[in-house]
Amino acid sequence: MLLFGPFRFDAERLVLYSGQSQQLLRPKVLQLLAYFLTHPNQVIKRETLLSALWQHGEYREAALTQSINELRQALGDNAQSPMYIRTLPQQGYQWICEVHAEKCTKKRAKQIGVALSVVAVLLFSMDKIHAIWPLSSSEQTQQKPALLILPLQNDTGVEANAWWGYAIESELKTQLQNHYQLKPKSQAPELLKLSKEKQPHTLVLTLKPRQQRFVLQASLDGRTIDVIVEQLGHNFSDIATSVLLALEVTSDHENKIAAPVKDLSDYYRGLQALNEYGPELAKSYFEAALVRVPEHLPSQLELAQVAWQQGDVTQAKARFDKITLGDAPDGLQARYHLYKGTFEKALGEFEAALNSAELGLRAAQQSQQIELIASAYQLQADIYWHTLQWQDYTLAMNAAYALIGSRSFAYSEAQRSFYLANPPATGPQDKKHLNLVQSKKVLNQAIDYYRQLSSNLELASSLFAYGQNYLVPVNEGEQSLLEALEIVADSGNEYFKMQVLTYLGFFYIQIHQGEKALYYLEQVKIYESFLPAIEQLQLLKAMAWMDIGLVKNDQNALDNARRQYHQLLEIDYISPLTRANTQLMLAWIGIKLGELEAAQTLTEQALLEYQRFELFDVAIYAEYTKMYIHLRQGQPEQALALADSDNSDAHLMLFYTSAAAQMINNVALAADTKTKLSALRNSDDLLQQLDEFTRLVGHTDKNILDLLDAPYSVYCQSKWILE
């Protein structure tokens, strides 16, 4: 037994104790601790730990960072003032706490020495570790059989009876959570597509009528049983117990202490309404539940969430403040902090939202519910995105990916894919982390699955995300977005409706249909407290007017756009990114009107902001805008000085580079960049312009103006498939 601080670590069984209590940690985290304890005071490189513990896998770096964080949390350690694990920038980590072997007989001491040697050696061959070491209780917990409880199929012919499925599912989860790794039903679309041998155990529930009574049919692993249900009241706890007994499933029903029965039927009706119809209908059920059971925290929490989704910020704050968690279950505490954090994020209160996300993450980890943990990481990623903290964003997003796979990208990333209204969809680092191909597949599965159910809001979320995936053809994406809007229009979820309408505006700007963009943007009703959404809406409205002005050569539209851009720059709360985007948009209007010097100043201001926040994917827009201005001013050398050979997929960067090379008779460079341009999709028009440009003798300003597309000609370098 190894001793450090107030902890004891069983090096043979990989079990950590604090006092007499065992600390439940993932096997990888325990293996990481074992490695540190066998190498105290040594500087250990990240690559050494990766080679020892994560020999394979695309997200090894994120997995190591996450495990370090979990270990620190379990030990109560702080990265800024560490007691156990010190981070050495550019070097690695160092275990700085003294480690002692527990006093024992010589024989036992020898065994500990052997065990430590085994730990050190076997950490480098983890694939064989379980053949040598017995499983710790923590590892056994991790190896619980996976179980997916599917939504109840209501065959009673009475739609109103569907609420009962939410109740029986909740009770089954309560009785099974200590014995199974319960898969969240939101993963059902992906899990059910797996091969039979890879699918989890699946519990299928069907409610049928029978002679003025009901029969609950349950199927698991090829076995089917029927349980008679006299009436659909609040007796679902006893019925869940009967189902598990009949299926001979290990559960907590034998040790279950009878609790006072409370009528929570309205709460479950509210959950059904929330998923299938939206908050407008659900609100009345949750209110009714509180009339029956005033202290019911889940109903209080759902009403707080519903309030802000409907735009009542004052009531939402009051409801959140009124909730007293006390000794509420960890899962409920996690939901409270995540709901509250999402609300704070919508208000632009990012510091408070980040604190709520951290509290939610801690509670979620205590609850050991994978979906809640992933949601906490995704909320953190959302906040880091808004605050331009890219490294933290990448780590949080990768942690979510490690837990729930591509679905983390499919939903979260899609809603950040505004190019100039937000940074590019992949962020400034590691584009490979955004797997649009896999996300598209996941969303397709989700759409098919939710179409078969009555989960309209979940269907709308999937359709909304699918319509934002850049691999989806434009006409297909358009239909997906419009269907999502149709579903949410009467749901009462005003915030979701605002998100869909706003993105539709951006969508039509991308394909140069400014009037249609304005049609949807004008329908957006944002409550004044939602500052980030207001900022985004104002920018998009100005972009829509600019699109009309550029496409139709409409001076009034350009004047309107310019006026709105200047109004946006005068707002106190404008984010640095929106400021930079607005400056670049004003520069494009200046180019259109021939105001090159003013356009150059604005472009340089935008470029400095992009570079300051490491927004290199967005900075390219400003860089090729400066190139164009130099070409217009007859300065091809200055334009070439800005050319970036690494940006081989930027249409206009290659286009302007080839044109500038021709102007100084650099035939080789002109040909090379033209070849790279020809390899890109949607480049035919630009290639034709270059061919005509090449045939001209003498490249005057008039020729350049007539032949070369300006930077605003391909907003955001859209690579959508125009089908």
What's the confidence (pLDDT) of residue 702? 60
Q: Which of 648, 661, 647 is nearest to 690 (CA)?
A: 661
Q: Which residues contact 270 (CB under 8 A, 6 or more apart)?
A: 282, 283, 285, 286, 289, 299, 302
What's the confidence (pLDDT) of residue 717? 42
φ, ψ for residue 714 (rounded to 5)? -130, 75
Counting every residue written for the chain, the total comes to: 723
Residue 248: pLDDT band (50, 70, 90) is: confident
What's the confidence (pLDDT) of residue 260? 56
Q: Is the dihedral of CA 309, 311, 317, 319 positive or negative?
A: negative
Q: Which residues contact 106 (CB under 8 A, 6 or more apart)?
A: none
φ, ψ for residue 578 (rounded to 5)? -65, -35
Strands 181-183 and 146-149: parallel
Tell me the percentage of the chain whose pLDDT exceeds 70: 84
Instruction: Give mean pLDDT, residues 123-135.
Output: 31
Residue 651: pLDDT band (50, 70, 90) is: confident
What's the confidence (pLDDT) of residue 113? 40
Return the higher-pLDDT residue of 160 and 257. 160
What's the confidence (pLDDT) of residue 723? 31
Give me the amino acid identity at 513: Q
- pLDDT tops 80 at residue 468: yes
Nearest-angstrom CA–CA distance, 381 and 374: 10
Residue 501: pLDDT band (50, 70, 90) is: very high
Token couple for 471: 């691999």
Residue 405: pLDDT band (50, 70, 90) is: confident
Instruction: Give mean pLDDT, residues 541-570.
Output: 94
Q: Is the dihedral of CA 498, 500, 501, 505 positive or negative?
A: positive
Find the helix or strand (DSSP H, E) in which 213 lies. Answer: strand 213-220
503-548: per-residue pLDDT in tens? 999 889 888 899 999 999 999 998 889 999 999 999 999 999 999 9
Question: Of 227-241, 373-387, 394-408, 412-426, which range is least confident?
Answer: 412-426
| Terminal-residue alpha carbon distance, the chain | 66
Between helices 616-632 and 596-612, what is the axis angle to 10°?
160
- pLDDT tops 70 at residue 450: yes
DSSP notation for 592-608:
HTT-HHHHHHHHHHHHH
**What is this structure's pTM?**
0.73
What's the confidence (pLDDT) of residue 657? 93
Residue 23: pLDDT band (50, 70, 90) is: confident
Residue 658: pLDDT band (50, 70, 90) is: very high
CA angle (65 as vertex; 63, 68 as ends), nearest 5: 110
- pLDDT tops 90 at residue 627: yes
Question: Of 233-247, 475-489, 523-537, which range is least confident?
Answer: 233-247
Per-residue b or e along 286-315, where b marks 16 or more CB atoms closer than 10 Å to that residue's CB? beebbeeeeebbbbbbbbbbbbbbbbebee
Return the higher-pLDDT residue of 597 and 647. 597
Instruction: Give mean pLDDT, residues 579-601.
Output: 94
Of 81-95, 152-166, 186-200, 700-714, which has the strongest mean pLDDT? Answer: 81-95
The region, left, alpha or beta by phi > 0 then psi within -120 to 50, assigned to residue 316 is alpha
What's the confidence (pLDDT) of residue 304? 97
Nearest-angstrom CA–CA distance, 678 and 691: 12
Return the higher-pLDDT residue of 196 and 552. 552
Residue 130: pLDDT band (50, 70, 90) is: very low
What's the confidence (pLDDT) of residue 394? 78
Q: Which of 538, 432, 547, 417 is nearest to 470 (CA)?
A: 417
Question: Of 72-76, 569-573, 586-590, 648-652, which range is least confident?
Answer: 648-652
What's the confidence (pLDDT) of residue 129? 26
What's the confidence (pLDDT) of residue 566? 96
Write down the mean pLDDT value for the chain. Answer: 82
Return the higher-pLDDT residue of 470 and 273. 273
Q: Which of 506, 502, 503, 536 is nearest to 522 (CA)?
A: 502
Q: How many CB atoms lie within 10 A of CB 150?
A: 18
- Domains in the chain, ordered, with CATH? 2-141 (1.10.10.10), 146-247 (3.40.50.10070), 325-404 (1.25.40), 407-491 (no CATH)
CA angle (516 as vertex; 469, 572 as ends), nearest 5: 80
Instruction: Map tokens 């620190």 to a residue.
Output: 72
Return the higher-pLDDT residue of 415 and 607. 607
CA angle (363 as vertex; 357, 365 as ends), nearest 5: 100
What's the confidence (pLDDT) of residue 434? 46
Q: How many CB atoms lie within 10 A of CB 256?
A: 13
- pLDDT tops 70 at residue 258: no
64-123: per-residue pLDDT in tens? 887 888 888 888 888 877 889 998 877 889 999 988 876 544 434 433 343 333 333 333
- pLDDT tops 60 at residue 500: yes
Residue 296: pLDDT band (50, 70, 90) is: very high
Give me the amino acid identity at 621: Y
